[in-house]
Amino acid sequence: MPNPITKAIIPVAGFGTRFLPATKAIPKEMLPVVDKPVVQYLVEEAVAAGIKTVIFIINKNKHSVENHFSRDVDFEAFLERAGKLEILEQVKKVHGLADFVYVCQDEPLGSGDAIMRAKGIIGDEAFAVFYADDIVYSEKPAIGQLIDVYEKHGKSVLGLFKVPRSDVKLYGIAKGNNIDERTLEIEKLVEKPAPAEAPSDLASVGRFILTPDIFEKIAKTEKTKGEVYLADSIDMLCKEGKVNGYELEGKWYDCGSKIGFLRANIEMALKREDMKEGVEKILKEL
């Protein structure tokens, strides 16, 4: 059996230009879905799947991500003095979720370059990757579903969801042959194809298990528009028969778009007993 997956990389070094002006001072990953930043949902998912170490790839301005997952003794003391004990417990829980490591990406050179920055920490282990645009609401953690596939087959694994043909131009699209009902052997991964040229309607949605041979492929990947795309590096592994895909069970929210982010806020609020009635009232009034 392959070694257990204990480390995850979450690249958060982008500038979040689609959400300007909100993201001029606040990283996109720190925008809240209801009352938690997007990135906290990812960390909680990772921890629920048994991951112990979370590696954030940040830029020099992303201090708020580090601050969120670090302990603030003065703030905790304030909450205790104010008698806000329930909130205090929620705040204290965040910094104890995992071991956090922060690696700086000095220039915006793409997702592949971001992953390469963590090579020295990852070593020769397989690892998880989360893109901070994607929340997956599911009974079993999405990354845990991929870990199960990795443990069975020993290959890199892409998390997949079907998308409308009109939307394939927004995502990396996978082509493959089914091994079972949800698992595929991936032949090809195409970054943002035109609808007429897309090999399928299966989008790679920001959940990956990658074997350490990905670093060799990243080193060989040519830049596109000044960036190293992780999808291009993964495609090299696909051509060698070293990548599986898995159609994830659950509901995927693309928080990288304004509409997807808004939908995530509404639907996640509807799932909460303390908010459901109020949100339903607002929607009926609208």
How do residues 86-107 score in pLDDT, each as one tens digit?
989 998 899 899 999 999 998 8
Domain assignment of residue 254, yes or no:
yes
Could you give the percent of the chain with pLDDT greater than 70? 100
Domain assignment of residue 277, yes or no:
no
What's the distance, Cα to Cα, between the start and end of the chain in Å?
54
Residue 25 has pLDDT above 90, yes or no: no
Domain assignment of residue 228, yes or no:
yes
CA torsion 159-165-171-175 (nearest 10°) is 50
Say which CATH number the domain at 137 has.
3.90.550.10
Phi-psi region of 171 (alpha: psi -120 to 50; beta: other; left: phi over 0): beta
Domain assignment of residue 185, yes or no:
yes
Could you give the percent of the chain with pLDDT greater than 90? 71
Domain assignment of residue 283, yes or no:
no
pTM: 0.93
Domain assignment of residue 66, yes or no:
yes
* Residue among 69, 54, 68 nearest 121 (CA): 54
Domain assignment of residue 282, yes or no:
no
Compare 170 and 130 and report the one with higher pLDDT. Answer: 130
Q: Given this model, what pLDDT does residue 1 score?
A: 63
Domain assignment of residue 11, yes or no:
yes
Residues comprising the chain, all counted: 286
Q: Given this model, what pLDDT does residue 106 score?
A: 83
Residue 146 has pLDDT above 90, yes or no: yes
E-assigned strand segments in the chain: 7-11, 32-33, 36-37, 53-58, 99-104, 127-130, 134-137, 156-162, 172-178, 183-191, 202-210, 243-247, 251-254
How do residues 109-144 score in pLDDT, each as one tens digit?
889 999 999 999 999 999 999 998 899 999 999 999
* Domain that residue 138 falls in: 7-272
Q: Given this model, what pLDDT does residue 59 score?
A: 85
Q: What is the mean pLDDT of residues 44-70?
A: 91
Q: What is the mean pLDDT of residues 139-164?
A: 95
Residue 51 has pLDDT above 90, yes or no: yes
Residue 52 has pLDDT above 80, yes or no: yes
Domain count, the chain: 1
